[in-house]
Amino acid sequence: MTSPADKEISKPSNFLRQIIEHDLAHGTYADRKWGGSPGDAAHHAAGQTDPAKVRLRFPPEPNGYLHIGHAKSICLNFGLARDYGGVCHLRFDDTNPEKEDTEYVDSIIDAVKWLGFGWENKGETNLYQASDYFDFMYRAAEYLIEAGHAYVDEQTVEQMRLSRGDFAHPGTNSPFRSRTPEQNLARFREMRDGLHEDGSMVLRAKIDMASPNINLRDPAIYRIRRATHHNTGDKWCIYPMYTFAHPIEDALEQITHSLCTLEFEDQRPFYDWLLDRLCEGGLVATPHPHQYEFARLNLTYVLTSKRKLAQLVYDHKVSGWDDPRMPTIVGLRRRGYTPEAIQLFAERIGVTKSDSWIDYSTLEGALRDTLDPIAPRAMAVLDPIKLVLTNWDEVMGAGKLDDCNAPVHPHHPEQGTRHFKIGKEVWIERTDYEETPPKGFFRLFPAHTNAGGQAIAASKVRLKYGHVIECVGATKDASGQVTEVLAKLVPDTKSGTPGADSIKVKGVITWVGVNDAVQAEVRLYDRLFTEAHPEANGKDFLENLNPNSLSVVTAYVEPSMANVAAGQRFQFERHGYFVTDLVDHGAGKTVFNRVTGMKDSWGK
C-alpha cells in the first residue's frame, strides 16, 4: 500500500489540485467548524474544528444508472478528498420530485462502492439526500423575501420569457417586482399552502434584469408542483429550482470545493450571490463553498447522458442498463472492466478546463494495462474447425492422450501451471488454415504451387505448448467447404522436451483438445455506435447504432476454464481479454464476454 503522501507525489498536478493546495497552504478553510452533520450556521458554530481538511461531494440525481462520465467525477471528487486529508460526501440530488426512483439510489451506492470509494469518515456517514434540506431551503426563501431579495412573480411563462431579454437586449422588470416583502411573504405562503395552481406563479430572486449574465436576471427559485416526492411524500407542493437548491446543499454540508462541469460556469455568479446573501443573514456558515468547473468527459462511440442511455434501455436497443455494451458502471462491470482500470483511465485523462473528446482506445488501454499483469492465461478457439493428426496412432499410440503444461501467467511462475491434453484431434481456428495461402501467411497450408509456378512445401507450425505438426491438407464437403484440417505430428518435438526446438517453425497456433475442451458461449462485443460522435451531423443517435455490436459464437476453451466462477477475467491467448458473464454464466452454462481485444483496433 502506498500512503496518501506517496500517491500525491506520484500524481500529475492539475488546476484543481493547485487550488486545493493553495487553500490548504493559506488556511482558507482551517477555522471551519463542523457540527457533525449538515446544518445551518448555528449548528456548525456549535461544533468542533472540522476534522476533514477539505469537503467535496458527488451529487448525482437518482434518475438513472451512473455512466463512465460520472465515474470521472467520482474518481475526481473522492480521489481529491482522499489525497488531501478530506472527505467526499455522496449526496442524492433529489429535489426534483418527478424523475427519481429508489432503484437508482441503490444502484448509485453500489457503483460508487464498486469503484473503490467510501464516504464514511470518523463515524460520520456522509451519505445525504438533498430533499432532507427542504425545510431549510424554504426558510432561506423566506429570508430572501424578508430581506427584499426575492419576490413572487405572477406573470405567465411566456411573459417571463419575453421580459428576460437576450444576449443583445437587457430584460425588463416584472410588474410584480415592486411588491413589498410582506405582500411577497403572504403570497409565498399561499403557494406553499396549496392555494394556487401549478405554474401560476414562481418565486424569483431579485437581482438585476439588465445583468449581462442572463442567469442573474431574476432567476426563478421556487415553483409550484403538485407531485409526490419519494422521500417527503405530499408534504410539499412547492419545490426549489436546482440552481437555488444546489448551493444551499453545498453550504449546509460545509463543502469547501464544489466541482461541477463547465455548463455551470455561467451559474457561478448566482451560486455566489445566493450564498453571500445567506451568509449576510447568518443562515449558513462562512466561508461558504466555492464552485469550480471542469470539462465533462466526452468519449468517442459513447453516449454520456442518463436520459439517452435510458432511451436505449426502454426502446430495447440493449438488454438493460447492465448490457455489456452500455457505458454504465454496471454495464462496464459486466463487460469485464475493473475498478482499477476505470481509476487509471480517470487519472490518465486528468481534468482540464476545456471540452474535448477522449478516444475510446484510452479506456481500453487502461483496461489492458491493468489486466495484463494479473489475468490468468488460457487457450480458446472461437471459430473452431477440427484438426486431425493423421499419424497420431502410429507415433503416439491409438487412443493415447499426451499431457501439456502452460504457465497460468508468463511473468508469474508462482501462479502455477495449467494442464491439458493433446490427442489425435484438436480444435483450431478456421482461419489458421489456407489451401493457397496469401504471402506472409505462416500458419497451416499444404504443399502447393504458388501463383508464380513455384513449388511451396507444406507448412510446419507448433501447436502452442504441444508438438510441431506438418500440414497435409483438408477434407471438404460436397460444396467445397473445409470440414477437417489434416496434419502429421513431427515426433520428438513436444514443447519443453529435449530437442523440441531442433525444428524451426515460423508459426505457432493456439488450440484446445477435442478430448478435454469445454464448450462455451462467447459474446463478442463491438462498439455500440458506428460513429465516433454518435450524434454528429445532427443525427439521432438511434440512426447510428451498430447493427453488429454483438455476435455470439460457440467456442471451445481449455479445461482449466471448467467451473470458474462468474466475473472472472482471463486473457485468451491471441484473442484478448474475456470475463465470465455475471448474469448468465454458471449452473452448467459457460458464458464469456469479450472485454477487449489484444490490441487497439479502434482506429482501424
Annotated catalytic residues are 61, 296, 306
Instruction: Please count the residues of this chain forming the interface with ligand ATP, following the rule CB under 6 A.
Output: 15
Q: Which stretch binds ligand ATP (CB under 6 A): 65-73, 282-290, 327-335, 401-409?
A: 65-73
CA dist 388 and 486 (Å) reads 5
Q: What does 59 bind: Mg ion, ligand ATP, none (CB cut-off 5 to 8 Å by kind)?
A: ligand ATP
> Smallest gap, in angstroms, from Cβ of residue 364 to ligand ATP?
18
Long-range contacts of 361-368 (CB under 8 A, 24+ apart): 361/600, 361/602, 361/603, 363/68, 363/299, 364/596, 364/600, 364/602, 365/600, 366/341, 366/342, 367/336, 367/337, 367/338, 367/341, 367/577, 367/595, 367/596, 368/577, 368/596, 368/598
The one among 137, 255, 260, 406 contacting ligand ATP by CB under 6 A? 260
> What residues numbered 55-94 form the site for Mg ion, per CB under 5 A?
61
> Smallest gap, in angstroms, from Cβ of residue 482 to ligand ATP?
48
The residue among 61 and 110 lying less far from Mg ion, judged by its C-beta, is 61
The one among 8, 33, 61, 223 contacting ligand ATP by CB under 6 A? 61
Backbone angles phi, psi at 394, to 5 degrees: -65, -45
Provide the β-strand partners of residue 585: none
> Smallest gap, in angstroms, from Cβ of residue 61 to Mg ion?
5
> Smallest gap, in angstroms, from Cβ of residue 95 to Mg ion?
12
User: Could you tell me if 513 and 426 are in contact, meaning their C-beta atoms sit under 8 angstroms apart?
Assistant: yes
User: Could you tell me if 417 and 407 are in contact, meaning their C-beta atoms sit under 8 angstroms apart?
Assistant: yes
Q: What does 69 bind: ligand ATP, Mg ion, none (CB cut-off 5 to 8 Å by kind)?
A: ligand ATP
The residue among 325 and 421 lying less far from ligand ATP, judged by its C-beta, is 325
Q: Which residue is nearest to Mg ion (CB)?
A: 61
CA dist 299 and 441 (Å) reads 36
User: Could you tell me if 33 and 49 are in contact, meaning their C-beta atoms sit under 8 angstroms apart?
Assistant: yes
Q: What does 576 bind: ligand ATP, Mg ion, none (CB cut-off 5 to 8 Å by kind)?
A: none
The one among 35, 38, 69, 339 contacting ligand ATP by CB under 6 A? 69
Q: Cα dist. 247→93, 144, 251 in Å?
A: 11, 14, 6
The one among 44, 70, 217, 527 contacting ligand ATP by CB under 6 A? 70
> What residues numbered 302-361 form the site for ligand ATP, per CB under 6 A?
304-306
> What residues numbered 7-66 form the site for Mg ion, per CB under 5 A?
61
Q: Cα dist. 438→444, 472, 485 in Å?
A: 12, 18, 18
> Smallest gap, in angstroms, from Cβ of residue 260 to ligand ATP?
5
User: Could you tell me if 535 and 541 are in contact, meaning their C-beta atoms sit under 8 angstroms apart?
Assistant: yes
Q: What does 300 bind: Mg ion, ligand ATP, none (CB cut-off 5 to 8 Å by kind)?
A: none
Only one residue has cell 454496471, namely 330
Only one residue has cell 462485443, namely 525
The one among 35, 59, 86, 336 contacting ligand ATP by CB under 6 A? 59
Q: What does 70 bind: Mg ion, ligand ATP, none (CB cut-off 5 to 8 Å by kind)?
A: ligand ATP
Q: What does 311 bind: ligand ATP, Mg ion, none (CB cut-off 5 to 8 Å by kind)?
A: none
The residue among 94 and 323 lying less far from Mg ion, judged by its C-beta, is 94
> Smallest gap, in angstroms, from Cβ of residue 327 to Mg ion?
16
The residue among 69 and 534 lying less far from ligand ATP, judged by its C-beta, is 69
> Smallest gap, in angstroms, from Cβ of residue 96 to ligand ATP?
10
Backbone angles phi, psi at 587, to 5 degrees: 50, 50
Q: What does 142 bind: ligand ATP, Mg ion, none (CB cut-off 5 to 8 Å by kind)?
A: none
Residue 261 in the binding site for ligand ATP (CB under 6 A): yes
CA dist 241 and 203 (Å) reads 10
Q: What does 240 bind: ligand ATP, Mg ion, none (CB cut-off 5 to 8 Å by kind)?
A: none
Which x/- pattern over 398-417 shows residues binding ligand ATP (rule: CB under 6 A)?
--------------------
Question: Residue 483, exposed/middle/buried by CB under 10 A (0-12, 13-18, 19+)?
Answer: exposed
No. of H helices and E strands in the chain?
Answer: 15, 31
The grid cell for 160 is 417571463
> Smallest gap, in angstroms, from Cβ of residue 93 to Mg ion?
8
The grid cell for 403 is 499431457
Q: Which residue is nearest to ligand ATP (CB)?
A: 69
CA dist 463 and 470 (Å) reads 10
> Smallest gap, in angstroms, from Cβ of residue 460 to ligand ATP?
53
Only one residue has cell 505448448, namely 465
Q: How far is CA 11 from the centre of its chain?
A: 21
CA dist 164 and 209 (Å) reads 7
On the question of a cis peptide bond just before residue 62, with omega within 30 degrees of 0, the verdict is: no
- The angle, 0 to 180 degrees and rounded to 10, between the axes of the packed helices 360-371 and 339-349 is 130
The residue among 247 and 365 lying less far from Mg ion, judged by its C-beta, is 247
The residue among 61 and 492 lying less far from Mg ion, judged by its C-beta, is 61
The one among 17, 55, 72, 334 contacting ligand ATP by CB under 6 A? 72
The residue among 94 and 153 lying less far from Mg ion, judged by its C-beta, is 94
Q: Which stretch binds ligand ATP (CB under 6 A): 2-10, 22-30, 283-291, 300-308?
A: 300-308
User: Could you tell me if 273 and 55 are in contact, meaning their C-beta atoms sit under 8 angstroms apart?
Assistant: no
Q: What does 72 bind: ligand ATP, Mg ion, none (CB cut-off 5 to 8 Å by kind)?
A: ligand ATP
> Smallest gap, in angstroms, from Cβ of residue 39 to ligand ATP?
22
| Site for Mg ion, rule CB under 5 A | 61
| Site for ligand ATP, rule CB under 6 A | 59-61, 69-70, 72-73, 93, 260-261, 296-297, 304-306
